[in-house]
Amino acid sequence: MAKTKILVADDEARMRKLICDFLTAAGYDVTEAEDGEQAVDLFFGTGGFGLVILDVMMPLMDGFEVCRTIREYSKVPVVMLTARTAERDELTGFGCGADEYISKPFSPKILVARVEALLRRSGADKQELLTAEGITLDKSAHEVTVDGKPVDLSFKEFELLAYLMENRGIALSREKILNNVWDYDYFGDARTIDTHIKKLRGKLGDRGDYIRTIWRMGYKFDDRPADKDTDEG
């Protein structure tokens, strides 16, 4: 099983080393970032992270801004670390999408324990492999292949395909897909799903036919090939 990748962003080198040493000893694959911009570049450039640890007070982009940026595209668990203990700061952390908010100073062992608990709840510590007639989706590595060839998907396309494959054979309404893939606080037109489905089908080639349109409802993923579906207007 591949090691879970964790991104640690903190501008204090000694703090980064302390956190990374404990996480590495616990069996995680750790990547370091020394400021907010580098954290964002690594998250979207390298990909495949199962959890992110962010210091709040960082140069270029603070932890809150980094968290908001990540949350636009991913539900990856996020832990915020900060010396700012005011209630309003903690509420800001949770408001921007953080899953845990830990005040400095803290016990590295407790941090590791909270990381492990978060990963257990999210399932991100398991290498989850979804397969269907030539399509392989690796949730741990954040990779998709069709007949062994890699397919380049955006974050939302990947999450959409994963959600459809996890609910194989189940008819899913646009609203349900929107709530689970785009989060409950997404206020865009549900028809944005239709656009992503079309792009996803195109990237999957012939396997895109497994994503079937359910008339006046939404979509479902079905292993059995079907005639070419047409989205209703």
What pLDDT is recorded for position 233? 40
Phi/psi class of residue 96: alpha, beta or left (left: φ > 0; alpha: ψ in -120 to 50)? alpha
Give 132's pLDDT tier (boundaries 50, 70, 90). Answer: confident
**From the centroid of its chain, how far is CA 94?**
17
Closest CA to 233 of 185, 184, 188, 198: 198
The encoded tokens of residue 140 equal 């741990």
- The pLDDT of 148-152, averaged and rounded, is 90
Give just the sign of the alpha carbon dihedral 190, 121, 164, 28.
Answer: positive
Fold of 129-221: Arc Repressor Mutant, subunit A (1.10.10)
Kind of pairing between the strands at 29-33 and 5-9: parallel
Residue 168 phi/psi, 5° resolution? -50, 130
- pLDDT of 212 reads 94
Given a cut of 70, whether residue 228 has pLDDT beyond it is no
| Token representation of residue 146 | 């069709």
130 pLDDT higher than 70: yes
Residue 122 has pLDDT above 80, yes or no: no
Q: Where are the domains of the chain?
A: 5-122, 129-221
- CATH 3.40.50.620 given to domain 5-122: no
Retrieve residue 35's tokens.
């400021």
Going by C-alpha positions, the residue among 192, 102, 112, 123 that lies closest to residue 156 is: 192
For residues 75 and 159, is the Cβ–Cβ distance under 8 A? Answer: yes
Q: Average pLDDT of the chain?
A: 83
pLDDT digits (tens, 9 = 90+) for 156-171: 899 899 989 988 888 8
Task: Pull the structure tokens for residue 183.
Answer: 């989060």
Q: What is the dihedral of CA 62, 69, 150, 223, to 10 degrees?
A: 140
The amino acid occupying position 117 is A
How confident is the model over 133-149, as a mean pLDDT? 85
Those residues whose C-beta lies under 8 Å from the C-beta of residue 169, and which sit 6 or more positions away, are 220, 221, 222
pLDDT at position 30 is 94
Q: What CA–CA distance (Å, rounded) separates 119 from 141? A: 15
CB-count exposure of residue 226 (10 Å: 0-12, 13-18, 19+): exposed
Q: Measured between alpha carbons, how far is 227 from 16 in angstroms, rounded to an integer?
A: 54
Which residues are registered as beta bridge partners of 143?
Answer: 138
Region 127-145 average pLDDT: 80
Which percentage of the chain shows pLDDT scores above 90? 33
Which residues sit opposite 212 in a β-bridge?
220
Q: How confident is the model at residue 4 (pLDDT cuts 50, 70, 90)?
A: confident
Angle, to 10 degrees, between the axis of helix 108-122 and the axis of helix 13-25?
Answer: 60
This prediction's pTM: 0.55
Query: 54-105 pLDDT, tens per residue?
Result: 998 898 888 889 999 998 888 888 998 887 666 676 777 777 888 888 888 8
Token output for 95: 């408001």
Can you tell me whether residue 145 is helix, strand or coil?
A: strand
